[in-house]
Every structure is written in structure tokens, then in C-alpha cells.
A and B are shown apart, each in its own frame.
Chain A
Amino acid sequence: MTVPQSARPGLYYPKMPLGWWLRRPNYIRFMIREVTSVFIAIFLVVLLIEVHMVAQGPEAYAAVVAKLRSPGWIVFNVVALAFALYHTVTWFKLTGVVQVVHLGERRVPPGLVVAGAFVAWGVVSLFILYWLLVRS
């Protein structure tokens, strides 16, 4: 195992300051990404409550929907949507790095892998929109 860092006398052990994440733009972007997940998590909890209320009957569901129509919740949903988009876009941009795709002997260029992810995302989103708006 590794020796604990405080093992050697005479050495100076630097400490990470609380504001370490303000030091570099990439750290800040990383922190924003982390914060976006909190909003997405809250959104999902609300969604679960809605589903639960559907099971409780039409009145219970209507009550929740009425609550969610308040300006506060609308603002929250807009923010959560923006964060979800930010999270998704940054995530897809990374797929080119993470996912190595081979076609035969050749490696598919990372840019194409990213493009593929975006196209797939667009197709699925359009399908869901169609299903929600046209079919129902």
C-alpha cells in the first residue's frame, strides 16, 4: 500500500484551499457539471412523485399538476432543462474520447463518434416529441 502522505518529516505538505475549483476555467466547468446533476436529480424525484400520484387517482394527480404550474416550479423546470442540455452536450462531446469504435481494421475518427451520438440523440428526441404531441 502507499505510505500515508504525512509520513516523512521535513517535507512541506501543501493543502488544497477551499476555493481550489476557482483556479482554472476547466475546474469551474467541472463544478457546473456537478451542480447540474443536483437539478436533474430533483427533476427526477418530482417526476417520480407525479407518477406516484397518477396511481393515487385523478384528483391527487390534478393537485400535483396545479402545484407544478406555479411560477417557481416553471422557473425550476426551465433551469433544469438548460442544465440537462448542458450536461448532455458536454457528455456527448466526451464520447469521442471515451468510446473507441472500430470498423474492421480502421478506427472511426472521434469526431464522427460524437456526431453519431448527437444524431442518435436528435432522432430519439424527435420521436418522443412526435409521440407526445401528435399521437396523444
Chain B
Amino acid sequence: MREETITLEVTRYRPGHDSEPRTESFAVPYQKDWVVLDALNHIKDQLDGTLTYRWSCRMGVCGSCGMMVNGVPKLTCSAFLRDYYPGPIRVEPLANFPVIRDLVVSLDDFMEKLRRVKPWLIRAVEKPVSEGEYRQTPAQLEDYKQFSMCINCMLCYAACPVYGLAPAFVGPAAIALAYRYNMDSRDEGYKLREPILSESVGVWECTFVGECSVVCPKGVDPAAAIQRSKVAGAKDWAMAMLMPWGGRR
């Protein structure tokens, strides 16, 4: 009996050769326990060694295998072929990002934004190590824990039409991380991050489409972080109007 196959329609782009991406079809063995990434590995090993894509952990942790699968941003190591049976399955590079080659996109823009939101604990004055650690209650941990689960997979940026239309937008994951540190009881950097979040390409650029939270594989809910940052920003603004000599925090 002939082995059953499923077709993958994969986007190819060779810098310097192609003026724009094209699609190439590959028939791969249909295995119920295969994910799209397995199929790509099969293509690279058996059919065309030049196919280029990123992956590492193969278990939804590293965040490097994000691609568009049938038009939806997915971690390809968690997208089972059986969920797309009988195919064909369209595999494209993450939307809204410049394509370097085939399925590999440039993340420079995000890296720059990530740096700008200062995603680390900021203290006004560091206390000496001899005084011990910064303590936190489970409730204080709960305030930000969900937002600390981000794996920088960029699925949320690929799902965000605002980012697609206005690439200067700081975007879901970077704002979620800023919010994560703002909500951390040990952090004192709110004032330093606030100007970045409240600028025109910050939280107010978001029109609450909400698709970022739908596609996030880690349950981070960046849309919630952005809206809550808006509420905090609006409160600051109101406080500054009422009490020009000093506001919150």
C-alpha cells in the first residue's frame, strides 16, 4: 500500500534572487503524531536541503518556530498535521515582519523595542546583598506571573493588524513585559517605562482587536496588559491634572 501523504505549500524567498516570495509544494508522509515542524524537517532532510526556517526546543519553550499555518500564527512544533487533515497546509513566514529567507523573519525591530521598555527589575537604590533578598507574597507574585510567561515567539505581533499597518507600534509582547515589571512589587521603574508606554506609538496605538491574546501559546494575554496600562496611564494623567505637584508613584 502506498504511504499516505499530505501537501505542504511552503513560502520560499531567496534574498538577492527573488523579488518577492513564491510558493513551493511538497508532499510529506502523513503521520498522525507529526507536527508541522516535523514535516518541515522531513522536507529539509529528504527533499530540499535549502529550505530555511528556525527552531530549537521542539516543545513550545524556545519560541523560535513561529510561522503562519493556514494564515494563523502558530508554533509549528505544537501544530499537529492531523488538525489540518487532509490539507494542503499553507506554511508562511510570520506576518508583519520582513523576510530574511524562506520562513525566517527579521526580529531586529522587536529586539529594539524590547530593550526600550527596560524589561528588568529597576530599583531606585539597590539594597546591599547582606540585607537579604527582596521578599514577595504569593498574591504579589500572582499580579504579574501570567505576563512573565512570554517566550518572545512573536505570534502576537503577527496577529496584530495595528503592527502590520503601523510598524512603529511598541506592540503586544513588549508592552506585556513592561507591564509585567510595572506590576512586580520589587520593581521601582514605573516612571522610567511610563514615557515609552504613553507615547503615541505606545499603548494608545492599540485599538483592542484582541487577536494577540487569542494566538498567544502561553496564555500571556498581552491585550489585557495593554488595556490595563491604558487605565494606569489615564489615571496618571488625571492625577497630574488634579495635582500638578505630584502624582502616583
Residue positions of A touching B, CB distance < 8 A: 2-3, 5, 8, 10-14, 16, 20-21, 23-24, 26-27, 30, 34, 94, 97-100, 105, 107
Return the CB mask of B54-66 against A: 1 if under 8 Å, else 0.
Answer: 0000000000000
Q: Which residue of B lies closest to A110 (CB)?
A: B224
- Complex: chain A residue closest to B16, CB-CB: A10
- Do B15 and A16 touch (CB < 8 A)? no
Chain B interface bracket (under 10, 10 to 19, 20 to 34, 35 or more): 35 or more
Instruction: State in angstroms the CA–CA spacing of A11 and B18 once bound together.
Output: 10
B9 interface hit (Cβ, 8 Å): no
B210 and A14 contacting across the interface, CB-CB below 8 Å: no
Nearest-neighbour CB distance to chain A for B126, whole angstroms, equals: 28
Taking chain A's interface residues, is the majority helix, strand, or loop, or is none over half, making it mixed?
Answer: loop
Q: Does A11 contact B207, Cβ atoms closer than 8 Å?
A: no
B211 CB within 8 Å of chain A: yes
Q: Are B106 and A11 in contact (CB under 8 A)?
A: yes
18 more A-B residue pairs beyond the given contacts A11-B100, A12-B15, A98-B231, with a C-beta to C-beta distance below 8 A:
A2-B112, A2-B113, A2-B167, A5-B109, A5-B167, A8-B106, A10-B16, A11-B106, A12-B18, A13-B98, A14-B96, A16-B96, A16-B165, A23-B71, A94-B208, A97-B213, A98-B227, A105-B139
Whether a CB of chain A sits under 8 angstroms from the CB of B3 is no
